[in-house]
Amino acid sequence: MSEGKYDQASAQARTRARAQAPVQEVFHQGETVHSFVSLNGLKFRESRDSANHPNSIALAILMDVTGSMGTIPEDLVKRTLPKFMKLVLPYEPDAQLLCGGFKDYSDQASDTACQIGQWECDDALIDKCLTSLSLGGGNRPHEDSAIALYVMARHTQIDCWEKRGKKGYIFLPTDDTMRPMVQARTVNALFGRRVLEKDLSTAEMIRELTERYHVFVFIPDPGRVGYDGRGTGVFDCYREYFGRNVIVLGASVDTAIVAAMLVALTEGHLPNLDAVDVELEMHMKMAKGERDRILKALEPYVNACNNVA
C-alpha cells in the first residue's frame, strides 16, 4: 500500500533500459517463490486510502505466466506498463496496481503456481512486484487461474468497495481453462496453513469475487479462441463465468492498453469507442491500424453494455 506516486519518466526510463535484456535477467529465477509475491502466511492483500491517495481504486493484472502465453509479462516489463498507467491516472489519479501470476494446476502445486503481490502506486514498487514473478511451466491440463481468483475473492480488502461501493478491477490474460473446483489442499499448501476447509466450487467463488470486482478475461489473440487442445474452448469456459467481460485481443501486445480503456469506459470517463479512438490517437500517438485493432477488441463489450442499458 504505497504512499508514493507513479513517476512516468522514471517508469519509461526503466522499461527502455531493459528493452533488450534477456527475460531471464528481468524476472525472478529459481524454484522457489519470491517473498514479495508469496502466499505463504498471507492474510490479506490490501488497497487502502491514504492522505496522498484518498480515493484509491484497486486494479490488478493477474497473468498466466506459462510459456504458451508468449510475451505478455515481458511486454509489460519492457514496454507497455507505463502506457497503462499513463492512460489510467488522468481519470483515476489514486489508482493502485497489484500484479500477480499463475502457472499450471497441480494437486501438489509448487509455491510458484500462484504468486500475488501487493497493491502499490509507486512506480518502482509496482515494477518490483512484476519482476518478482517467476515465469514458466505449461504441461498440465489446467492453469491455476481459479486459485489466483480465489485469493482475490477471499484474501483482499479494498477501500474503494468497502468505503465507497466502487468495484475494483481484475484483468486476467490466459489461454487455458479453469477447473470447476478450487482444491483446498492446494490452496492450503500455498498459504502454509489451513485457510480453506473444503473444496470450493469455482462458480461460487466467482459469485463472491464479482460482488467486489469487475473481472475481465483476456484471450491473447483470435487464434486462441476455441482452442485448448483438450476439447473445451477457452473462450466458452470463461464466457460461462464472466459473460461479456471475456475480451479477445487482436494481439497480445495490446493487453495494457485494452485494460486501461476498459477502466475508462466502465467508469464512464470515456462515453464510447469514438472517444477511445481520440484518446489513443491524441495522447498515445497510435497509428490507425493499432487503434482499429484495439477498438475491435473492445467493441463486443461496449455493444453488450449498450444493449443492457
Instruction: Report pLDDT for 230.
Output: 39
Q: Which residues pair with 247 in a beta bridge?
A: 218
Put residue 226 in one of left, alpha, beta given phi > 0 → left and psi -120 to 50 → alpha. Answer: left
- Interior/surface letters 150-180, b for 16+ CB within 10 angstroms, e for the rest: bbbbbbbebbbbeeeebbbbbbbbbbbbbbe
Q: Which residues pair with 197 in a beta bridge?
A: none
Domain ranges of the chain: 8-269
CA-to-CA distance for 126 and 261, rounded, in angstroms?
20
Instruction: Report pLDDT for 213.
Output: 98
Helices (H), ranges, 114-213: 123-131, 145-154, 159-164, 184-191, 202-209
The count of other CB atoms within 10 Å of the CB of residue 28 is 19
Q: Is 187 exposed, middle or buried (0-12, 13-18, 19+ CB in 10 A)?
A: buried
Q: Are strands 213-219 and 156-158 parallel, antiparallel or unpaired?
A: unpaired
- Residues 6+ positions from 207 with CB-CB distance below 8 Å: none
At residue 78, φ and ψ (nearest 5 deg) are: -100, -20
The count of other CB atoms within 10 Å of the CB of residue 90 is 12
Domain covering 8-269 assigned CATH 3.40.50.150 in the classification: no
Instruction: Report pLDDT for 231.
Output: 35
Instruction: Report pLDDT for 70.
Output: 59
Which helix (H) or strand (E) segment is 115 a member of? Answer: strand 114-116
The count of other CB atoms within 10 Å of the CB of residue 183 is 21
Q: Looking at the whole model, is its pTM more than 0.85?
A: yes
pLDDT in tens, the chain (309 residues): 567 899 999 999 999 999 999 988 999 997 789 999 999 999 999 999 999 999 999 999 999 998 767 588 999 999 999 999 999 999 999 999 999 999 876 644 578 889 999 999 999 999 999 999 999 875 555 667 999 999 999 999 999 999 999 999 999 999 888 889 999 999 999 999 999 999 999 999 999 999 999 999 999 877 666 554 433 488 899 999 999 999 999 999 999 999 999 999 999 999 999 999 999 999 999 999 999 999 999 999 999 999 875
